[in-house]
Amino acid sequence: MSAAYKKAEAQHIAEIAVKANGINASSEREVVSVTDNPFVFSIDVDDEAVSNQQQSGRCWMYSCLNWMRHKVEKDLKLPKGQFQLSQNYNFFFDKLEKANLFMKSIIDCADSDINDRRVTFLMQTPQQDGGDFDPIVALVEKYGVMPLNIMPDTAVTKNTAELNAVLNKMLRQDALALRALVHERASEEKLNEARLTFLNEIYRVLAVSMGEPPEKFDFEYRDKDNNYHVDRNLTPLEFYKKYVGIKLEDYVGVMNLPTEQTPYGKLYTIDMTGEIIGSKRYLHYVNVPMDVFKAAAIEQLKAGEPVWFGCDVTQDADFTKGILSCNLYDYEKMFGIKWTMDKGERFVTYQALPTHAMLIAGVDMDADGKPIRWKIENSWGTEAHNKEVGHQGYFIMDDKWFDEYMFEIGVRKEFLPQEYQQVLETEPEVMPYWSPFNPEP
């Protein structure tokens, strides 16, 4: 190996650059980050100020609430950057519902050995910040939404590591107690009583950390013409119905997952998910080819709506310049290696997974109506670690990156071909809880 490296003269030059500057900085193609990706889009539906999820894993929630915010801002003619929906409010109930689902799952698996794969998976991460399109839709349908100023973020929700450590310690302890009750053949009434006792403790921790969600509030704002408006004594559900008013049942989860285990044209769900027990909204995706996937996103943009999506933002990205491009880094020439895995192979080997949710805010089309690059609204703010984040928080995603690292979108089902709309009425195939596609472990 040493003898072979001595002959690899191109890598000797690369070694000097990489040791001094790092891998990405040394291999980044300037033409990709500067010339090939101007921040201009032929279809541009959203240019509002981006939000900032801080040190938390709430991207899926931020992206969906930003999608809803877009409609409120447009309908009420609100000044740019002056309005957000409260992520803290929905996050409070997300944590409570996840705790409840965890306890139910523990009871359901209580007769299994502690080393059973499902039990081990539950115990490893009783709850966390992640989620998906269907879970946030279910939360909104049950609890509604409210403006950010009514229930703003706290020090805990801006950096959730401490809260997650406390909650997971509590839930693991609760799990042992619930398993013991099942082994003692306790009645269902006694199990429910124990679960409610534990949930009461979870609620208390959440209230201390986030504040208790208000049941009613007043909505006050000034529009772009400086006209004052007020609507008093609203519940969160009343606010949603009156000021957001999106028919959430018209929107569905769509994925592009080209693997042997997940054929196109089928509906999929994931075992032991669906955090709101009893909700009509459960985690589900219809798997479609990329051309269908992409066309649905473009149709929704043409209708004036941003598109929620999940991708692997860790791949081929420059966060400071706001570029997502498969050609961004020339690792192959720099190291003298060759990448050969396709999208499906990367997924099944855990090389590329859905890691982050954002909004598609626009697309640039060529003369033949084909997409060239996509405008992306992120939720990382405009600055991090004293460096800019993208274009005032927005990113550019080239179309090849879209093909390779986009995994799911939330779109109006009317934008899918009829054959895939019919799939939505079928019984879903169940992917295992430990599937890499699971957003909740």
Q: What residues are labeled active site?
A: 59, 356, 378
Task: Please work out, in degrees rounded to the nearest 5, the angle formed at the alpha carbon of residue 328 by the alpha carbons of 322 and 333.
Answer: 155
- In order, the DSSP letters of 187-255 are -HHHHHHHHHHHHHHHHHHHHHHH-PPPS-EEEEEE-TT--EEEEEEE-HHHHIIIII---GGGEEEEE
To 5 degrees, how large is the angle CA 241–CA 410–CA 128? 90
Residue environment code for 196-232, b if the CB has 16+ CB neighbours within 10 A, otherwise e: eebbeebeebbeebbbebeeebebebeeeeeeeeeee
Tokens 């929620």 locate to 308
Which residues, listed in sequence order, are joined to residue 430 by a DSSP beta bridge? 269
Which residues are bridge partners to 222 per DSSP? 228
State how far the Cα of 62 lies from the Cα of 68, in Å rounded to an integer.
10
Give 416's contacts (C-beta < 8 A, 6+ positions apart): 252, 254, 286, 288, 292, 296
